[in-house]
A = this chain, B = another copy of it.
């Protein structure tokens, strides 16, 4: 926090939020500086660079903001206090609900905003891929815990089950973009989770 100097004429937090919505909707490369500055209250280029350093630095900041807010719908994957099945189910349902809300862009920023970039921005794609890997690892942890505590048989194909739930999770982004209502996705999640019960019954 600066103690002296001319005070900033715009709210930095609100500006990051506005940028997040733009990146979320149009992606990193397709969001221009002009759009970002306009959404921040038509601030000048000088003000933009003084506050955010660069377009890429701002994007990274919006990803962090996303993870700390909307992205928390998936935190159950990393909560060892939750029962494994409940952790996965909750993450899926909350993701589906969040991604279909109309108060912000549809789908998931981590999946959509950098899925296709120019070669010079490949590191952006890789950064987002690493974020997706964290979610995948969380799902894997849940399934491994279920095997460890006997909830699932130890004959279960863990990578297969991880892929089953993670592929569905990733598909929600495009479904949400295509306007599929939450209730349909939520009902599909119920059906998907029935696989867990079927596998668990075989354990008896």
Interface residues of A, Cβ cutoff 8 Å to B: 25-27, 29-32, 111-113, 115-119, 121, 129, 132-133, 136, 157, 159-161, 163-164, 166-175, 177-178, 180, 184-185, 187-188, 190-192, 194-195, 198
Contact = CB atoms under 8 A, between A and B. Distances in A.
8 contacts: A26-B116, A113-B116, A133-B178, A164-B168, A167-B168, A170-B174, A173-B174, A195-B195
Given A119-B26, A164-B191, A187-B157, A175 B170 contact: yes
Contact of A118 (B32, B119, B163, B192): B32
A163 B186 CA distance: 9
A113 B112 CA distance: 11
Given A116-B25, A116-B30, A178-B132, A188 B171 contact: no
This protein's copies in its complex: 2
Contacts of A160: 184, 187-188, 190-191
B161 A167 contact: no
Given A30-B117, A115-B116, 9 more contacts: A25-B116, A113-B116, A115-B115, A136-B178, A161-B188, A163-B180, A166-B175, A167-B188, A198-B198
A115 B121 CA distance: 17
A43 to B, nearest CB: 20
Given A30-B117, A118-B32, A178-B129, A167 B172 contact: yes
Contacts of A112: 115-116
B178 A164 contact: no
Contact of A195 (B167, B180, B191): B191
Nearest to A113: B116
